[in-house]
A = this chain, B = another copy of it.
Amino acid sequence: MAGRKISPNLALDQLVAQRIAAGESIVHLGFGESRLPVFAPLRRALTEGADRNAYGPVVGDPDTRDAVAGYFSRRRLPTEADQVIIAPGSKPLLMALQLVVGGDTLVAAPSWVTYAPQARLAGKTVLGVPIPESCGGVPDPAALRETVRAARVLGHDPRILVLTSPDNPTGTHAPDELVRELCAIAEEEDLLIVSDEIYRDILHTPGTDLLSPAEIAPRRTVVLTGLSKNLALGGWRIGAARFPTGGWGERIRADVASVASEIWSTLAGPMQSVARYAFAEPPEIRERLTADAALHGAVAGAVHRIMVDAGATCRPPTGAFYVYPDFAPLREPLAEQGITDGASLQHHLLEELGVAVLSGHHFGDRPEALRFRAATSMLYGDTPEQQRQTQTAADPLAVPHVADALVRIEQALAKLPR
């Protein structure tokens, strides 16, 4: 078990933060954090919860779970409080699911850097399935069927299918038809769907409708969410899970609660106060979510254009705050400079061009692919003041520090050999 490494996303952030602190000039697109200030009412909710020093229920206080149930119910997923577990982030809930559900785990390739290590930590085999042309976060249906069957022939036992929409790293969301098709496969193959919807509130086009697998396959879908992305509270560690009704779902929820009681006890009381306030979505929270989603869309769109102009192919981002360019069209000129895979492209961008991104192989993509994730939410500013300026600007792309960063990225990528 020796030689473990820190999750690459967090490790890169620590490294870049140290180098910037030491005086280096780096455009940091390497970390999946929404760099926005704490919304004032959330700070108030934290302070108001400061007297909550008792442990309380493992799954979360009833009033907090009730707020989370309301959040899901307003998204066409009717939910009772006793279907919910609240935790210090959705990450430990995902880990607990890997621990309590038997069999092996199917993930999209690429997908969030943590799914696969968690599954391996739980003793599972990870089966990566390529994503379709249309979007990331979900496997291509034909490839999924093939992977499931081939895995069974090899003695594996695929039982969990992880879907993410909108997704990390491609910043896209799955169209309804694709969700329906994947749910049908899950039914046929008896898979539990783990639907990571932590970016759900960050859809760039107002009025876009997202179809959750829990609407199509309610008895076999666990939904994850949290406040890290939509309300920029990554460092506050607040997550929640919604479990299916019915025997299977109830058993999984009870098992996750058991694991929770042995690993993390409960979400901190003051954070439950924050969760109760935020998941209830009073008007000021709804406005915040809408405004921030538009901001994320504007900046992701600008970075997308830069990548395409630099010669990459790249899915147009529709959600979250990522773009995932593919520099395959430049493979030959890049190879002449010794850039032959994702790792060498990441290295070249950081060391030669001063742009920090995370290579696709960290997300389970093919190592030789010339793909990386750029987290565009890192561009909003280095101080709360800058971030607030970006957040409140009519045109965030015109805010000087954002515009400067975009120019720097453009100029850096223009130096790639063509």
Cβ of A285 to closest chain B Cβ, rounded Å: 15
Whose C-beta in chain B lies nearest to the C-beta of A248?
Answer: B2
Q: Is A74 an interface residue (CB 8 A)?
A: no
Which one of A94-102, A305-313, A332-340, A365-373 contacts B? A94-102
Neighbour of A92 across the interface among B11, B117, B264, CB < 8 A? B264
0/1 string, A263-283, CB within 8 A of B gives 1: 111111111000000000000
Whose C-beta in chain B lies nearest to the C-beta of A101?
Answer: B1
Interface size class of A (residues with CB under 8 A): 35 or more
A264 to B47, CA, bound (A): 23
Q: Is A258 an interface residue (CB 8 A)?
A: yes
Chain B residues with CB under 8 Å of A266's CB are: 10, 235, 237
Neighbour of A258 across the interface among B5, B88, B92, B101, CB < 8 A? B5
| Chain A 202-231 interface residues, beta-carbon cutoff 8 Å to B | none
Is B13 touching A38 in the complex (CB atoms < 8 A)? no
Whose C-beta in chain B lies nearest to the C-beta of A95?
Answer: B263
Cβ of A185 to closest chain B Cβ, rounded Å: 24
Q: Is A57 an interface residue (CB 8 A)?
A: yes
Chain B residues with CB under 8 Å of A56's CB are: 235
Neighbour of A91 across the interface among B13, B37, B232, B263, CB < 8 A? B263
0/1 string, A46-86, CB within 8 A of B gives 1: 11001111111110000000000000000000000000000
Q: Is A170 an interface residue (CB 8 A)?
A: no
Q: Is A111 an interface residue (CB 8 A)?
A: no
A118 to B265, CA, bound (A): 12
Is A237 touching B47 in the complex (CB atoms < 8 A)? no
| Chain A 91-123 interface residues, beta-carbon cutoff 8 Å to B | 91-92, 95, 99-102, 114, 117-118, 121, 123
Cβ of A323 to closest chain B Cβ, rounded Å: 21
Chain B residues with CB under 8 Å of A384's CB are: 51
Copies in the complex: 2
Is A237 touching B262 in the complex (CB atoms < 8 A)? no
Q: Is A7 an interface residue (CB 8 A)?
A: yes
Is A95 touching B262 in the complex (CB atoms < 8 A)? yes
Q: Is A261 an interface residue (CB 8 A)?
A: yes
Neighbour of A51 across the interface among B2, B5, B37, B47, CB < 8 A? B37
Whose C-beta in chain B lies nearest to the C-beta of A384?
Answer: B51
A102 to B7, CA, bound (A): 21
Chain B residues with CB under 8 Å of A261's CB are: 6-7, 10-11
Is B1 touching A118 in the complex (CB atoms < 8 A)? no
Q: Is A127 an interface residue (CB 8 A)?
A: no
Whose C-beta in chain B lies nearest to the C-beta of A96?
Answer: B263
Residues on A lying within 8 angstroms of B by beta carbon are 1-7, 10-11, 13-14, 31, 33, 35, 37-38, 43, 46-47, 50-58, 88-89, 91-92, 95, 99-102, 114, 117-118, 121, 123, 232-237, 251, 254-255, 257-259, 261-271, 384
A-B contact pairs, 27 of them (CB 8 A): A1-B100, A1-B101, A1-B255, A5-B258, A7-B258, A10-B265, A14-B57, A31-B55, A33-B55, A35-B54, A37-B53, A46-B46, A47-B47, A51-B384, A53-B232, A53-B235, A54-B235, A88-B88, A88-B268, A117-B262, A118-B262, A121-B259, A123-B123, A235-B266, A235-B268, A236-B270, A270-B270
